Chain A
Amino acid sequence: MVRLAELPQTSTSIPLKATLASALAVGSGGSSGSLADKPLLKDAYGKLLIPGSQLKGRLRHECEKLARGLGWAICRSPDPERMCPKREGIDGHFDRPEYQVEGYAGSHCLVCQIFGNPALPSRLWVADLVCEVPPAALEATLRPGVTLNRRRRTAEDQRLYLIETSPAAELIFSGSLQLLPDCPPWGKALLRVALHHIGALGGSKSAGLGWLHWDPQSLAALQPNDADWAFLAGGGS
Chain B
Amino acid sequence: MEAIELTLTAESPLAIGRQKPGGSISEAQDFIPGSVIRGALADLLLRQSRHRPGEALTGDLAALFTEARAAVFTHAYPGSGSRVLPATAFSSKNNPGFRSEAGKTGVFDTLLDRFCSQRLGIPFDPAEPDGSGGRVEPFGGFYSQEEGSRYRRVAVSKRLLTRVGINRRRATAADQILYSLEVINEGRAGRDGSLQPSLFSGHIYLQDRELAAALAGYLNTHARRLSLGGGVSRGLGRVSLAARHLRAPKPSLAERVAAFNQKLRQRWQQWQVFGNPWQPLPPERQYFSIGLQSGAILKERWQRTTVLTPPMLQEEANCEDGSLVLELACSSYAYVSGWNAAWGLFKDVELVTTQGSVFLLSTTQMERWIPILAEMEYWGIGERTAEGFGQIEVCSLFHHHFWENPL
Chain A binding surface, main DSSP class = loop
| Residue in A28, A53, A54, A103 whose CB lies within 8 Å of B53 | A103
Chain A residues closer than 8 Å to B238, beta-carbon distance: 127
A31 to B180, CA, bound (A): 10
A181 to B189, CA, bound (A): 35
| Residue in A103, A124, A128, A136 whose CB lies within 8 Å of B52 | A103
A2 to B187, CA, bound (A): 37
Mark interface residues in B210-223 (1 if CB within 8 Å of A CB, else 0): 01001101100110
Chain A residues closer than 8 Å to B356, beta-carbon distance: none
A-binding segment of B228-236, B330-338, B390-398: B228-236
Question: Within the complex, what minimum Cβ distance (angstroms) separates B26 from chain A?
Answer: 14
Pair B173/A203 contact, Cβ less than 8 Å: yes
A78 to B45, CA, bound (A): 29
A residues 9-45 with Cβ under 8 Å of B? 9-11, 13, 28-31, 43-45
Chain B residues closer than 8 Å to A203, beta-carbon distance: 172-173
Chain A residues closer than 8 Å to B236, beta-carbon distance: 52
Pair A178/B225 contact, Cβ less than 8 Å: yes
Mark interface residues in B37-68 (1 if CB within 8 Å of A CB, else 0): 00000011101111111100111110000000
Pair B162/A28 contact, Cβ less than 8 Å: yes
Question: Within the complex, what minimum Cβ distance (angstroms) separates B283 from chain A?
Answer: 52
A30 to B159, CA, bound (A): 12
**Nearest chain-B residue to A30 (Cβ)?**
B162
B residues apposed to A, CB below 8 Å = 12-13, 43-45, 47-54, 57-61, 157, 159, 162-166, 168, 171-173, 175, 178, 180, 185-189, 193, 195, 211, 214-215, 217-218, 221-222, 225, 227, 231-236, 238, 341, 344
Pair A30/B180 contact, Cβ less than 8 Å: yes
Pair A3/B59 contact, Cβ less than 8 Å: yes
Pair A54/B162 contact, Cβ less than 8 Å: no
A78 to B168, CA, bound (A): 7
A1 to B51, CA, bound (A): 11
Size band of the interface chain A makes with B: 35 or more
Chain A residues closer than 8 Å to B13, beta-carbon distance: 43-44
A202 to B172, CA, bound (A): 8
A4 to B213, CA, bound (A): 10
Task: In the A-B complex, list the 7 residue pairs whose CB atoms are closest, starting with the nearest.
Answer: A52-B235, A122-B233, A53-B234, A57-B166, A30-B162, A44-B185, A1-B59
A58: interface (CB < 8 Å):
yes
Chain A residues closer than 8 Å to B166, beta-carbon distance: 53-54, 57-58, 61, 78
A125 to B13, CA, bound (A): 14
Pair A54/B164 contact, Cβ less than 8 Å: yes
A178 to B159, CA, bound (A): 25
**A and B contact pairs by CB, cutoff 8 A, 8 listed:** A4-B211, A29-B162, A44-B13, A45-B186, A57-B166, A57-B234, A125-B232, A125-B233
A161 to B32, CA, bound (A): 40
Chain B binding surface, main DSSP class = mixed
A residues 112-139 with Cβ under 8 Å of B? 115-116, 119, 121-122, 124-128, 134-136
Chain A residues closer than 8 Å to B234, beta-carbon distance: 51-53, 56-57, 125-126
A86 to B180, CA, bound (A): 27
**Nearest chain-A residue to B188 (Cβ)?**
A44
Chain A residues closer than 8 Å to B344, beta-carbon distance: 119
A207: interface (CB < 8 Å):
no
Chain A residues closer than 8 Å to B217, beta-carbon distance: 4-5
User: 19 new A-B pairs (CB below 8 Å) besides A43-B12, A45-B189, A46-B189?
Assistant: A1-B58, A2-B60, A4-B214, A7-B45, A11-B44, A28-B163, A30-B162, A51-B234, A52-B236, A53-B163, A53-B231, A54-B163, A56-B234, A103-B54, A121-B341, A127-B235, A128-B12, A178-B225, A182-B47
**Nearest chain-B residue to A29 (Cβ)?**
B178
Chain A residues closer than 8 Å to B178, beta-carbon distance: 28-30
A3 to B59, CA, bound (A): 6
A188: interface (CB < 8 Å):
no
Chain A residues closer than 8 Å to B54, beta-carbon distance: 103
Question: Within the complex, what minimum Cβ distance (angstroms) separates A48 from chain B?
Answer: 14
